[in-house]
Chains A and B, each alone.
Chain A
Amino acid sequence: MSLGPHLLLAIMEGTVSAFVLAVTALGLSLVFGVMRIVNVAHGEFFMLGAVLAWWLTSLVPEAPFWGFMLALAVAPLLVGTIAIVADRFVLQRLNYQPEATIVATIGLLYILQQAVLSIYGPEARPVVAPINFRIVLPWFGYSGYKLVVVGAAILLLLAAWYGVTRTRFGLIMRATQFDGEIAQAFGIPVKRVYAAVFALGAMLAAAAGVLVVPLQQAHYLMGLDPLLLSFVVVIIGGLDSLKGTIVAAFIIGLSDGIISVFFSPTLAKIIATLAVALVLVFRPNGLFGGKVR
């Protein structure tokens, strides 16, 4: 292939990963924005989504499409439940103290990951895509399912956007984000809001995991990359800016795709991690973040 098609492929791949990343990172960003905590176990929620998708689709092997729909509906719910339990018995007990919470979510990361290892095993298992058509371009063929991923991600992002800006729950959430104590004084059940936000963040990650699994196989260690990339996105996008998160997901997803195709994926990751460290040091509110709180 010559340069042009190569670049086209890189951009298409980058776009798909950018959308998946945007959904995952949005979950992390919501949790940080509202609860002021960094959830290091976020990648494990993504992994759980993927692994549960494998399990759920394997229940209906004769109908991959319906199996996948089942996974898309049920896996995030299960993961959300796990998140609520974790919130109730771990985060709440720690009073969401930022540093203790990070240590606790590291613990959670290992517990979830190793539990999956012992139940599901060390294998990487594929999930059949719910639809099966290829787009044939002059230079290469392209899996049509990737377009489905993009479409679904757009729907999820729009839903999240609507939920945060246009609904009552969104309003309550933003009030809590603005000042937890004042919100409490106004009768907002802050604890329940936190639990819901934590679950919502986990469900977004899980949904991203479900969407990705037909492209990427389910594996117990697959949570690390989305975790680190989500960090990168949330930090570059500004720690509590929804718009910034999505813009940053595109920059990171696309540049990751392009650098990976032309150079090496490892180099792309080195650059991204160093960039994020420097952004956090020199522009703590992100490149797109607004005012200091």
Chain B
Amino acid sequence: MTPALRARRILLLHGGLALLLLLCQFVLPDYHHTNFVSIMVLAVYALGYNLLVGYTGLLSLGHAMFFAAGLYGAGMGVHYFAWNPVVAFIAGAAAGLFLAVLVGLVALRTSGVAFMIVTMMFAQAAFLTTLYFNDVTHGDEGLTLTQAARSFALFGTVIDLTNPAIRYNLAWLLLAGALAVMLLVVLSPAGRVLIAIRENEERTRMLGYDVRRYKLAALGVSGLLSGAAGAAYVLFFGYVGSSFAAIPYSIYPLLWVLLGGVGTVAGPVIGTLLMFYLIEIARDYSSSYMIVVGAILLVLVLFFPKGIIGSWRARGQGWIP
């Protein structure tokens, strides 16, 4: 396949996916709009997670800390300092980036299982920290942002983040942007190096690459996307609480990415969408709906490790990034 043809197909697949999500707002009943806002924001989180896990080969079990960094970074700013939501969003994303680099400087000395446990421990410490500073964070109970605090003026027009249509389209914009970032990174020479690190780290080092630096950069971008997702989440839904920093929020992105396809750009979006509705449906039936999470994790790891897009790619569709 020529590079031009491949580029066209890639654009078609991912552009089509984005377009489909944009058009859903005109087709779906209102009730699903809120769900889709959640899904699109969480998909950004999944995309960020996948950059590290799927493309660099570093399995993190503690990404909730980066999501929560965005959530708290933006939420606290709005709540205590009445930040403009735009500023709060940027601050949240920056918080994710900052924490990721900080954690990376220490945790990237390990790899494999040790990296999994170290990230899990750091995330647990971050979660406990949100509980410890209960006076400020209100711990589990959390904080609610007022409607007034969640609107801002842009070029003279007031943008109210509680307005469903605005919220939907901004969430879509964020997701489309994240998809574009992922494609740019993954298809760039730097993305090639990340994949090389995943495939054979020692070889890559012996080609003259400073592997640590690439890993740190990947973790940084991953934290940035996770933080941006967290910040968007608190601005769109007006609530921040420690449950978002707890272990399940580190497991969800793993589940979304595994389901959609590890190391694929479109996979995490599809995985998030499917898993969100699967959990919603399970929740209607039973209070122990989290059993679905366990069961699907097991099934995926045992029988379907490539996930949806990954399996498609393995069937002769090597052009899929």
Contact = CB atoms under 8 A, between A and B. Distances in A.
Query: Do any CB atoms of chain A lie under 8 A from CB atoms of chain B in the complex?
Result: yes
Interface string A160-172: 0000000000000
A149 interface: no
Interface stretch (A13-21, A139-147, A191-199, A270-278): A270-278
Given A94-B302, A100-B301, A280-B118, A114 B128 contact: no
B107 A277 contact: yes
Contact of A273 (B107, B125, B254, B297): B125
A96 to B, nearest CB: 12
A224 to B, nearest CB: 8
Nearest to A38: B113
Given A98-B113, A100-B305, A104-B302, A269 B291 contact: no
A103 B254 contact: yes
Interface in A19-63: 38
Nearest to A111: B294
B291 A277 contact: no
A273 B124 contact: yes
B112 interface: yes
A276 B125 CA distance: 10
Contacts of B296: 107
Contact of A235 (B117, B124, B290, B298): B117
A282 B114 CA distance: 11
Contacts of B294: 106-114
Interface in B96-131: 106-107, 109-110, 112-114, 116-118, 121-122, 124-125, 128-129, 131
Contacts of A118: 286-288, 291
Nearest to A275: B121
A122 B109 CA distance: 41
A28 to B, nearest CB: 12
B251 interface: yes
Contacts of A112: 294
B199 to A, nearest CB: 15
Given A103-B254, A269-B128, A273-B121, A117 B107 contact: no
Contacts of A102: 59, 61, 113, 116
B128 A90 contact: no
A278 B106 contact: yes
B52 to A, nearest CB: 14
B110 A281 contact: yes
A9 interface: no
Contact of B116 (A99, A270, A282): A99
A270 B129 contact: yes
Interface in A239-293: 264, 266-267, 269-270, 273-274, 276-278, 280-282, 284
B114 A280 contact: yes
Contacts, number: 119
Contacts of A68: none
B107 to A, nearest CB: 7
B290 A110 contact: yes
A154 interface: no
A78 to B, nearest CB: 19
B60 to A, nearest CB: 11
B288 A117 contact: yes
A277 B106 contact: yes
A70 to B, nearest CB: 27
B117 A231 contact: yes
Q: Which one of B251, B293, B298 has the greatest number of beta carbons of chain A within 10 Å?
A: B298
A31 B306 CA distance: 28
B125 A274 contact: yes
Given A94-B302, A98-B112, A100-B305, A107 B297 contact: yes
Given A104-B297, A110-B290, A115-B291, A277 B116 contact: no
Interface string B238-260: 00000000010001001000100
B122 A277 contact: yes
A277 B258 contact: no
Nearest to B129: A270
Contacts of A276: 121
A240 to B, nearest CB: 13
A280 B121 contact: yes
Nearest to B119: A277
B106 to A, nearest CB: 6
A228 interface: yes
Contact of A231 (B109, B121, B122, B298): B121
Contact of B128 (A98, A117, A273, A278): A273
Q: Which one of A100, A104, A281 has the greatest number of beta carbons of chain B within 10 Å?
A: A281
A276 B118 CA distance: 8
B132 interface: yes
A277 B301 contact: no
B59 A38 contact: no
The 4 closest A-B pairs by CB, nearest first: A110-B294, A107-B297, A114-B291, A107-B298
29 contacts: A94-B301, A99-B59, A102-B59, A103-B297, A104-B297, A106-B61, A106-B254, A106-B294, A107-B293, A107-B297, A107-B301, A108-B294, A111-B295, A113-B294, A114-B288, A114-B289, A117-B288, A118-B286, A228-B121, A270-B129, A273-B122, A273-B128, A274-B121, A277-B107, A280-B117, A280-B121, A281-B109, A281-B118, A284-B110
Interface of B: 59, 61, 106-107, 109-110, 112-114, 116-118, 121-122, 124-125, 128-129, 131-132, 247, 251, 254, 258, 286-291, 293-298, 301-302, 305
Given A38-B113, A269-B124, 9 more contacts: A99-B112, A99-B116, A107-B293, A111-B291, A111-B294, A114-B290, A273-B122, A273-B124, A274-B121
